[in-house]
A and B are shown apart, each in its own frame.
Chain A
Amino acid sequence: MNVQRKPVADPGFEENAKKLTPEKIERVIKWVLEKEADIRLKTFVETCIHCGLCSEACHYFLSYRRDPSYAPVAKIRQTLWDMLKKKGKVDAESVKMYARIAFTECNICRRCSMYCPFGIDMAYMLNLVRRICGLLGVVPQYLQDQANSHMYTYTQAWLAQDDWVDTVQFIEDELRMEIKNARIPLDKVGAEVMYSPHSLEAKFKTNLLSNIAYILNVAGVDWTMPSFDGWDSTNQAMHVGDNETMGMVERMHFEAAMKLKVKKIMTSECGHSFRAAVYDGSRWLGWKEPPITYLQPTQFFYELIRDGKIRIAKKIKEPVTVQDPCSIVRNRGLGGMLRSIVNWTCEDFRDVNPRLEHNYCCCAGSGVINYGPPWKFIRMEGGRVKINQLKATGLSSHPVTAVINQSKK
């Protein structure tokens, strides 16, 4: 299938593809599909009957006016099946096409997998394509830069350790202007909870770390954060298909918690961080579940309110709706807790349709928000169905979300 797409100049695709040789491409494809891929690949490829029922589940298919080339089954056909059919003997132009589809036309949201009558995990297969493209270096440049940052600094945003500690001290000083003797305790051994923030909370979204510190101080939670490597919960290497770096980052993250002997980790209000720690990262490291109880803030805050540690003084009066983040609702079932918190804190909650695990992806996840200016309008076009869904609620004020990427939409 020859699909036509609007050209997008991304040096991560264009320049890196020039360095590829047919031998290297074939070697990498065979390595991933024959040595790394498990029985799921063979099962899924042989089970799919190309019925196309996954199409209506895909927000790209719906947003691009039901263009059949955006159907999940078509994306697999244009990428993975093409490689299998040609036994890895493909050219650099094909690799660029695979990369474009896997990185910019799929958010690995797994809505299609949920609607497939055979339960075929399309996201698993497109992740394999990302892995192949990642090993070949054909990756959106902005995303690769962030994955490189993880390799060198263990953070997504090229932050040095002294930047991190300075920022925490600054936020603590600010917080003490509101809450008496507020503390952001670093390296407290034996604390109940280790909060693991998003990189951006130490860069240009410091208000988020401040909010978390405010809540945990008022609720009287025994908490801490590491001052050393492993404090950052993000993991863009997972999106690139760089599983080795992904595993290294997650190992560092869990080792930080073990050094501090904490009982639980609470990640930032970020979907992919949760996915990286609980699913992809843990399993790459050989664990079925994380070695330490791992909580998303939605769950932690729900428990604090339920147990009376947080009391609600007043409610938001304006109408609100919610966006269900795929990583924590479709893939973890926290949609009910999210709605409970919204109902406890807002007077006029108007739910979206479809909702919970059936909700549409926001088109920002799995690294797509991080591809930078070259891909901005492609991404925004892909979010058309989400925008229309939110508009249909009739709101003009507050959608509520539990993860960071969606706020950048």
Chain B
Amino acid sequence: MIHYYKLDMRVMFISEILVQNMYVPDEMKVIKTRDEK
């Protein structure tokens, strides 16, 4: 019997975490960064 497993979790890559949380100097920003939108 085959069971279907589903996790109610979101997978994130290290790069995605860094993009969301790294410091970006104001002079580099064109518009609001992704997480500020």
Contact = CB atoms under 8 A, between A and B. Distances in A.
Interface string A290-330: 00000001100100000000111111100010000000000
Contacts of A283: none
Interface residues of A, number: 51
A369 to B, nearest CB: 13
B5 A346 contact: no
B3 A384 contact: yes
A396 B5 contact: no
Given A297-B15, A383-B5, A316 B10 contact: no
A316 B5 contact: no
- Which of B18, B30, B31, B33 has most chain A Cβ within 10 Å? B18
A381 B2 CA distance: 7
A212 B29 contact: no
A215 interface: yes
A212 B28 contact: no
Nearest to A304: B18
A338 B11 contact: no
A180 B25 CA distance: 11
A345 B17 contact: yes
Interface string B8-28: 111111111111111110011
Interface in A170-211: 176-180, 208, 211
Contact of A377 (B2, B10, B21, B34): B2
A311 B11 CA distance: 23
Contacts of A316: 17, 20-21
Given A218-B28, A380-B5, A398-B9, A211 B15 contact: yes
A274 interface: no
Contact of B19 (A211, A269, A297): A211
A387 B5 contact: yes
Nearest to B4: A380
Interface of B: 2-5, 7-24, 27-31, 33-34
Interface of A: 6, 176-180, 208, 211-212, 214-215, 217-218, 269, 297-298, 301, 310-316, 320, 338, 341-342, 345-346, 377-378, 380-381, 383-384, 387, 390-391, 395-402, 404, 406-407, 409
16 contacts: A179-B30, A180-B27, A211-B13, A218-B28, A341-B17, A377-B4, A378-B2, A384-B3, A387-B5, A387-B7, A398-B10, A398-B12, A399-B7, A402-B13, A404-B13, A407-B11
